Structure 1
Amino acid sequence: MSIELQILGAADEVTGSCHLLTVGEYKVLLDCGLIQGSRKDEARNSAPFPFDPAAIDAVILSHAHIDHSGRLPLLVKQGFNGPIYTHKATTDLCKIMLRDSAFLQEKDARWENRKRERKGLKLVEPLYTLEDVEAVFELFQPLSYNERLEILPLVALRLQDAGHILGSAIVELWLHSGKQNRKLVFSGDLGRSGMPVLEDPAIIKQADMVLLESTYGDRLHRDWEATRQELADLFQEMTRRQGNILIPAFAVGRTQEILYLFAKYYDEWGLSRWHIFLDSPMAIEATDVYARNCELFDDESSQLWRENRVTPMLPNLRFTRTPEESMSINQIHSGAIIIAGSGMCNGGRIRHHLKHNAWRRDCHILISGFQARGTLGRTLVDGAKHIRLWGETIRVAAQVHTIGGLSAHADQAGLSHWYAQFENRPPVVLVHGEQEAKTTLAEHLRNTLSAPVRMPTYTETLSLTADDQAHKDAFK
């Protein structure tokens, strides 16, 4: 019997994570994420899966981010009815994120159909609905870290802490095929060591193949102390200018980290001078999930969160849940810090705040996470002088600051260090990275660690049962 891994997503891009593992007669899907970016990119979400969803025996979900979980409702809608194994905190976060995704899918379909009706065109269906999402929740099988479980006769699973967002997991899989035993390790999205709130990524020693993300494979982040000082200096500068500060933030992970940092450095950064708004219903719900799972934090963050929670430590923090509350923020021309989704500015309330603030010279925009190609956030990072919002051209006079040191992804040094802990340098398959990032990381791993590296293309299939030396030769 053979053991094969087919790359069906995030091959030459960061979003759309999806990989098909075949062990004899059994089929296991690693992640099933939405493709994000331009309209052309996102249109690919509607394409048929390159496999029969009903033939999948199980899904293993590394974490809740929508580029890893966002096509699960479509998978179930098209026939999948097996277990979805993931960390218990991920199940809670997915209930928030997938419902929000379905809401947006239905909203976009209604908007498109209004235009189509006027033109006499055929109406479109949403990618999936809230009803489809609820069917996914019935299939979740929540696990704890370090819990080894035989999920199929030939497959055993263990999740380890990836340190990326709450519940994020490194996936260890023990695979059996006749007389051959193989171990596959999937990094998921790998976090950074030494960052606030979450534990460092777990170290794994043994593997026959490593499936490794490469989001920041071509760069190094600032260390945490330098990032803390950078933020302190920025807030001092922005206090003098007294405009508004816009922070596009991912609702899960980045938002909670920012709130924690605001609480910890409240006095040092002079935050009492500002009105702070968390303008994202999804982020507000996710923050509550974080609070209920603070045992997963590092020791310092866990103690601070348990003793104080975040809200009492930020007396000027206001949660704005309703559209009316959100719109009222736009009456404030100075002194507001607005944290809103989406993290890449491709949707959500941040776009409204950009419309009302991006043209102001005293406005600051803090970019705190990865911006995929084709997104509005990437356009801002690349220095655009004008952006388009709802058919209107908006001048960008605001200062755009990219705070790379806040990234929840390991950089080149972090990825290399994590891989270096594996004994015997197992073959490494690079995914979840744009071409330049993957190529740079591949060269680095080969030159510094003599690692056998492969950068697979979409639909490429890799064997885990070939002769060991022949297997490594294929990765040169």
Structure 2
Amino acid sequence: MLIEDRLKELKEKINAKVPAGINVSEVEFEGPELVIYTDDPKKFADEADLIKVLARDLRKRIVVRPNVLEDPEIAATKIKAVVSEGAGITDMFFDPDTGEVLIEAEKPGVVIGKNGTTLRDITKEIGWTPKVVRTPPIESSTVKQTRQFLRAVKDERKAFLRSIGRRIHRDLTSKDKWVRVTTLGCCREVGRAAFLLSTPESKILIDCGDKPGSSDGFPYLYVPEIFPLKSLDAVVLTHAHLDHCALVPMLYKYGFEGPVYSTPATRDLAVMLQLDYLDVVANEVNQVPYSSKEVQEYIKRSITLNYGSVTDIAPDIKLTYHNAGHILGSAIAHFHIGDGQYNIAFTGDFNYGKTRLFGPATSQFPRLEAVFMESTYGGSEDNQPSKNDAESRLYEIVNETINRGGKIIIPAFAVGRSQEVMLALEEGMRLEKIPKVKVYLDGMIKEATAIHTTYPEYLNPDLRKQIFQEGMNPFLSECFVQVDSPKIREEVIGSDPCIIITTSGMLNGGPVMEYLYALAPYEKNTLIFVGYQADGTIGRRIQKGWKEVPMGRRETIVLNLQIETVDGFSGHSDRRQLMAYVNHLNPRPEKIFTIHGDEKNTIDLASSIYKRFRIETHSPKNLETYRML
């Protein structure tokens, strides 16, 4: 059936269900959604369950938009006229993709009004659908610039979404029924995550990252299964760490034209890290794999989904994201293939334990036949201490170092580990477990923290309550000081005893190398590792006992400072949690593939899962293809 005929049929079904007096002027696929255009958006809104009924009966994601949206500047003026100044409106973002206006306010309740009366008044005045959130306590320049860019390219984006919508909802052409996964990276190694999910109808790339500390750090993107890149229906991102997202913009440089799906937080964090990645790579090797232009292409073609939202991304594949508990917005990607033919989940990086930031990863799914799960700490001895034990050990080292007049360097990923360590240090000082010293934040840590406060819905309820109800935001503690210039960095190096949290987490470039160069020669100082150090990185070499490491091409750093590793802050599941996760998976899968870990860890975990649960397991190598169905 032609798309136009299908849309005509859908419009007839919708008209048969909507009450008399509501005019449906147009029905169109835009990205994964079916958009209903009408002159009567308010009447649709008054029919509270109508959209739910339509979505259920048509089995589509339904969005209702007015035929003509009020000009954003005029609409903003009308909103301010309706809402009292006491609400403290700080920003408004008009999203033409959804017809929503996001209103940021210091007092969201005032914008909503009693029983939602003010929101209804806004809808009557402007036609846009208002959505209210609390003003983030730390402003993110990345979020602001991304929203401004999306608004500037709204016409191009609308055309793109219509094109993608028609591709997603095209007719099935093959009578064959099979599902295959090709491993393009991240197997028996950590880094360059990339997996190709294929059916007779569709091709989906899951993640596209680099490999830290490696000169050969790209996935196998040239193999015939994935090439040409234009043949891809979509890219699905699990989370924003560079070993999963760094090379997504490069796909657009070499012919990819489709959408990239992620959670909203993942998109914004990925953009921040990709732009920083370009700066770091340019300084180190003077050659970059793509430019900021390709990052803009990624933003323009990004489609964001919330946890639990079942979404068509190809004619025979539905995607649902579930909490992975790893970093902000991290997700387990669950694919429902065909009409219930096969269900497969890619965990990305996940944590099956509660942390200061997040709740544990989801282990319950509607249906599940196969799982590709990370194995970073999959070895039989890879058990991490409890959060309390880890923090106690951190406090002990901090006390020892500060008491002898030294400084502490903590290399950490800008996203995830930095915020966990910040919260632990803030509480330690507040409860007088460690001295009150300055904690300097260098690299992208402050901006990453601002993005965390932009998306509080991803944080665990305890932290949300502390920030927004109790009015005590640990991220705004006076102990934290941003380092944003070489001059301040020099002052920190020459300052009193302090703590420095800085990127990069594995010492493969970034500000940490400058601190190490200046502070490593002195025994009174301490270097503390709090995250995973991949093979080939300077961080792993230091952990192995190296006493000298290269600094650029000509100099070396002599390491006389104390070197410590504090396990327990990782965002990854340890061995016990990985086995517990498999035990609690519901339904229990038929196959499990262990990936994203050193060779011995992936093999050990696969063997242990088979022995305990009698589930078929594989520790795949790169460039292998597995037939699932």
TM-score of the aligned structures, taking structure 2 as reference length: 0.68
Residue equivalent to 1:208: 369
User: Take 2:564 and 2:326, find their aligned partners in 1: how far apart are those partners?
Assistant: 22
User: Take 1:107 and 1:46, find their aligned partners in 2: how far apart are those partners?
Assistant: 25
2:386 aligned partner, one-letter code: D
Q: Once superposed, what is the RMSD of the aligned Cα atoms?
A: 1.8
Residue equivalent to 1:429: 593
1:166 aligns with 2:328: yes
Deviation at 1:76, TM superposition (A): 1.1
Residue equivalent to 1:251: 414
Contact 1:238 1:364 in 2 (8 A): yes
Higher mean displacement: 220-229 or 7-16: 220-229
User: Take 2:418 and 2:459, find their aligned partners in 1: how far apart are those partners?
Assistant: 15
User: Secondary structure of 2:424's partner?
Assistant: helix
Deviation at 1:49, TM superposition (A): 5.8
Deviation at 1:204, TM superposition (A): 2.3
Correspondence list, 1:284-433, <5 A: 284-306=446-468, 307-312=471-476, 314-332=477-495, 334-390=496-552, 391-422=554-585, 423-433=587-597
Residue equivalent to 1:474: none
1:75-117: per-residue Cα shift (whole Å, max 9, x none)?
A: 111011111111111111112011111223333454xxxxxxx
1:24 aligns with 2:188: no
1:327-367: per-residue Cα shift (whole Å, max 9, x none)?
A: 322223x4121111000000100000000111210111110
User: Take 1:199 and 1:421, find their aligned partners in 2: how far apart are those partners?
Assistant: 16
User: Take 1:109 and 1:267, find their aligned partners in 2: how far apart are those partners?
Assistant: 43
User: Take 2:613 and 2:432, find their aligned partners in 1: how far apart are those partners?
Assistant: 41
1:272-319: per-residue Cα shift (whole Å, max 9, x none)?
A: 432210011x2111110001112211121112233222344x312210
TM-score of the aligned structures, taking structure 1 as reference length: 0.89
Distance change (3 Å), C-alpha of 1:202 and 1:311:
closer
Residue equivalent to 2:291: 129
Deviation at 1:432, TM superposition (A): 0.6
Structure number with greater Rg is 2
Aligned residues: 444
Residue equivalent to 1:84: 260
1:417-455: per-residue Cα shift (whole Å, max 9, x none)?
A: 112223344210111111011122122212222221101
Contact 2:201 2:316 in 1 (8 A): no
Residue equivalent to 1:34: 210
Deviation at 1:321, TM superposition (A): 1.3
Contact 1:248 1:340 in 2 (8 A): yes
User: Take 2:307 and 2:436, find their aligned partners in 1: how far apart are those partners?
Assistant: 41
Contact 1:105 1:128 in 2 (8 A): no
User: Take 2:525 and 2:284, find their aligned partners in 1: how far apart are those partners?
Assistant: 30
User: Take 1:188 and 1:45, find their aligned partners in 2: how far apart are those partners?
Assistant: 16
User: Take 2:219 and 2:196, find their aligned partners in 1: how far apart are those partners?
Assistant: 17
User: Take 1:264 and 1:161, find their aligned partners in 2: how far apart are those partners?
Assistant: 26
2:188 aligned partner, one-letter code: D
* Structure with more contact order per residue of length (Cα contacts < 8 Å, sep ≥ 6): 1
1:303 aligned partner, one-letter code: K
Residue equivalent to 1:193: 353
User: Take 1:193 and 1:202, find their aligned partners in 2: how far apart are those partners?
Assistant: 10
1:15 aligns with 2:178: no
Deviation at 1:406, TM superposition (A): 0.6
| Unmatched 5+ stretches in structure 1 | 111-124, 466-476
Contact 1:63 1:86 in 2 (8 A): yes
Deviation at 1:271, TM superposition (A): 4.5
User: Take 1:296 and 1:196, find their aligned partners in 2: how far apart are those partners?
Assistant: 12
Residue equivalent to 1:146: 308
Residue equivalent to 2:610: 446
| Unmatched 5+ stretches in structure 2 | 1-175
Contact 2:522 2:561 in 1 (8 A): yes
1:73 aligns with 2:249: yes
